[in-house]
Chain A
Amino acid sequence: MKHAPAALPSSDRDVSGIEIAAGLRYTEVIVDWLTPPPIIDAAFARMEPVHHDRLLHFDTETTGLAGGTGTRAFMIGAADWIDGRFRIRQLTITSMAAETAMLRTFAGWLDHDTVLVSYNGKCYDAPLLATRYRLARLPNPLLGLGHLDLLHPVRRHWKHQWENCRLATAERQLLGVVREDDLPGAEAPAAWLTYLRGGSARNLRRVAQHNAQDLKSLAGVLVHMAMMEGELVTSVTATQ
């Protein structure tokens, strides 16, 4: 029988944010980040143009990649433009029981005309959340919403030019973002488990930073591609 690595009891138990329900932490920051055009041209993703007010960028941090009913999200980050500024909201659960409250809160952030923006969210985050809503016996609020998954357009454009099409590569190539002290995504599950078992919250805070940066990059890649597509269309029109 294998044994779990025992989490060392730690005095560093400080998870960022305020507790808005038992075991559910909420953070909100508003930053200046990009100046998106009012109408985002989503032709690059074969979608109708959409006003940037309707966009909600989202990204989950999960207990693993195994898939199926045994994998859960312990953090949901979502970001949108409010009056031209970029609002980043994050939900983190510090107990299993708080999952339902987290799912309900996130559902409240979605409107019938919200367009989701993600990186591989169609294949990963959205089905995972669908499973969690089902297990919590809640309606799935993502069902039927527009969803701009940037992974596929990025692959179409740069598959042959970049070593891979991960978000970290896209943000470096397109936005010049270089992360410092970034917690690799693969270490996120352990960071949360350590905290859950009474260990240090340090890495869990780093997961939140990582998640926030993912959201900013998501918006960055989106704007970049929308503008680029515009130029492309313009130049094609010009030559004609």
Chain B
Amino acid sequence: MNALPDRYATDELVLRDPGDGRSLAQRLSKRYAARITGAFVVPGRDGSYAPLPDDLPPALAQALRSRGIDQLYSHQAEAWKATQAGAHVAIVTPTASGKSLCYTLPVITAAMTNHAKALYLFPTKALAQDQVAELLELNQAGALGVKAFTFDGDTPGDARQAIRLHGDIVVSNPDMLHQAILPHHTKWAQFFENLRYVVIDEVHTYRGVFGSHVANVIRRLKRVCAFYGVTPQFILCSATIGNPQEHAEALIEDAVTAVTESGAPTGDKHVLLWNPPVVNPDLGLRASARSQTNRIARLAIKSGMKTLVFAQSRTMVEVLTKYLKDVFDHDPRKPPRIRAYRGGYLPKERRAAEREMRAGTIDGIVSTSALELGVDIGSLDVVVLNGYPGSVAGTWQRFGRAGRRQQSSLGVLVASSDPLDQYLVRHPEFFQGATPEHARIQPDQPLILLDHIRCAAFELPFIGDEMFGTEVATPWLDLLGEEGVMHREGDRWEWIADSYPAIAVSLRSVADGNFVVVDRTNGRQTIIAEVDYSAAAVTLYEGAIHMIQSTPYQVERLDWEGRKAYVTRTTVDYYTDAIDYTKLKVLDCFDSSHAGCGHAHHGEVHVVRRVPGYKKIRFYSHENIGYGPVNLPDQELHTTAVWWQLPQAVLESAFEQRQQALDGFLGAANALHLVATVAVMAEARDLQKSVGSGDGAWFVSADISGRGQLRGSDGQPTALAADAPFTPTVYLYDAFPGGIGHSEPLFQRREDLIAQSVSLIERCDCRAGCPACVGPILAADEQAGDNVADTTPKALALRVLALLVAL
């Protein structure tokens, strides 16, 4: 894509003097005004300081001074005061604001004065290792005698014993706590007897299914601590989300003191939201994010600015690194200026990259989320995000990587063609005002709760009417008794089975496990991809063309039980599209309210998902050239949902034909789903949408033209009798058995969701509808004349939503 004229144009923009964020932002805004959908400045501020606390052990104060720390930022001092007063503390300050000192000070102090122990939990191994490296440096600086170790899956067996006995600070992750530490807590007895602090960093990542699991692991941790007679203090850290304190309190089920005002000084931070230019107006195709990211990074590096590029996948890291190396590292005699950094590299390589960044010999680094936090790589000027990281909080964490005290920095978010990216990049206000994101967990979700009561029972017997979290455990124990894994004697419930339940419970995946895609081309046996359980039925059926990095593979055999799909390379001129029916039936309505001329509800639903077949669709022409059957089990689940309905009379006066109303509901569902995903920080697979009748009699799926096709309960296309009741309904449901707590908050925010969906569609650049608002539509619709402007998918969706807007 790097045609010469384009390169010339970018080179013109290169800043002659070493640039800063402000000047680069200005030049980019001027040259590429049409691509920039939002530009704003987060003003810098002076630091706010406090002296080192008097009650700090002298040796620790000395160690800090020798590391150049003569005073604290105000939030560090605030956190110190709160921890010394015995409170649980939640620290919510930006990246690179010296968050870790907030917990390092109380933890090291307690270790030095009382031989107290601390447990650190980080979501990833890499973060844990960096934390330990930092602790060791401080320890060395002051000869403090505090021992810190990582304890994770890579820790060798012979080292484990020493860590259990001698570690003052053990740095691990929730999975290890769940599977290795708690079920063997007696081996950790000395550690637990002296446990004073539990530090949990990155708590905003513990949300949804994962967060609900982690909350239960914390319940088990507290239960084991109680056995050893300790009640540790929790110190939690979070990125900026809408409800940090509430979320921290939900995780540990106790009151926390929140520290939210950062005292760290920063320069101005310039932010640009960047949408790649439209290259095919007919199809609404945009240039790739990759090409744009590459261009911005190249320009920044040529302007003498230290630049960090974040990519979403390891492959993309390699691709972008190659492009930048082609420009900057073509002379092999010179030391490299560009580096890649990602998981999968050896720790040695990663340490080397960090050192070189700190020393300033590297000008550009391309990374996955591995560099998002913690890791010290010195000061940076520019951060470019190749694609939206999935949350506003994550975006800020990555932008936070750039910034020097005196100088302005620049962060650029380059949107991909993903609908969520397109939605976010058109809403600069999400990044300016109060963040729209609220982390939610549902620790009492029955399946998750039962899993953890099972694990807890293995760890210690339940006695009497013991509570687990907020519930009395007895009914659950009865259930486990029936299953034969527990035995009741008097008022004690004891684990009796020959099994290790924590092994069967994964904190990170939904119940049913991922599918692996195995390439068997020419006798190979290589795993080339993993697919979520929820997506497997619509992408891995036998006969499916499965695209990986735009290379087509055909699925030859699907081993549903074994969670494997066997594929071979192929060269066909078509792709396949599953016919996917989701049928919902309302079982119980918990709450209802008026929504414009209709109603919004929240309750329990029964979902049946079926894939009866697939279509073969020719590339470019989009002709339907065939059909294949699929023979897969129905996926059924009971879950919770929020849904909106309009009365038949309202629809009949607002729409000439029922078809139009169906199209409108489909488009509205698409927009609502996007908006809701952001609102509850849902993983895409955890929240799903559907359109159907209120009673499960029929449902609607998008046909090949993007228009609604009515289907009966058997999945076959059907038509409604003219006198049949007609109450289309749009559902958003939790794609997890029993629900995971998204639908209640969505119901609370129902008016907001409708309003945001309206604005999403109204403000979309497309003419008649596109994947970023109402979903994919036919090119013919796009090109239709003005005479049908009020019946485009976009217009119809707006008409439905207008009827649901609060009066």
Contact = CB atoms under 8 A, between A and B. Distances in A.
Interface of A: 1-5, 63-72, 95-97, 127, 130-131, 134-135, 189, 193, 196-197
Contact of B495 (A2, A70, A95, A189): A70
Interface stretch (B182-190, B367-375, B648-656, B739-747): B182-190
Given A96-B489, A134-B189, A69 B184 contact: yes
B53 interface: no
A237 to B, nearest CB: 37
A5 B484 contact: yes
Most buried by A among B458, B497, B498: B498
A134 B187 CA distance: 9
B15 interface: no
A1 B498 contact: no
A161 B93 CA distance: 65
B492 interface: yes
Given A1-B483, A3-B482, A4-B483, A135 B460 contact: yes
Contacts of B495: 70
B734 interface: no
B479 A1 contact: yes
Contact of B499 (A64, A69, A96, A97): A64
Contacts of A130: 186
Contacts of B498: 63-66, 71, 189
B487 interface: yes
Contacts of B459: 69-70
Nearest to B179: A68
Interface of A is mostly: loop
Interface string B187-199: 1010000000000
B7 to A, nearest CB: 62
B490 interface: yes
B487 A68 contact: no
B312 to A, nearest CB: 38
A131 B489 CA distance: 21
A193 B481 CA distance: 13
B78 interface: no
Interface residues of B, number: 28
Contacts of A4: 481-485
B482 A97 contact: no
B492 A193 contact: no
B496 A193 contact: yes
Given A63-B496, A97-B492, A69 B183 contact: yes
Most buried by B among A69, A193, A197: A69
B484 A3 contact: yes
A64 B186 contact: no
Contact of A69 (B185, B481, B485, B490): B185
B500 A97 contact: no
A220 B185 CA distance: 36
A185 to B, nearest CB: 12
B363 interface: no
Contacts of B489: 95-97
Contacts of B501: 70
Interface string B159-192: 0000000000000000000000001111101000
A3 B482 CA distance: 6
B494 interface: yes
B228 to A, nearest CB: 10
Nearest to A130: B186
Q: What 5 A-B pairs come out closest when comparing CB atoms?
A: A4-B484, A64-B498, A70-B458, A70-B495, A134-B186
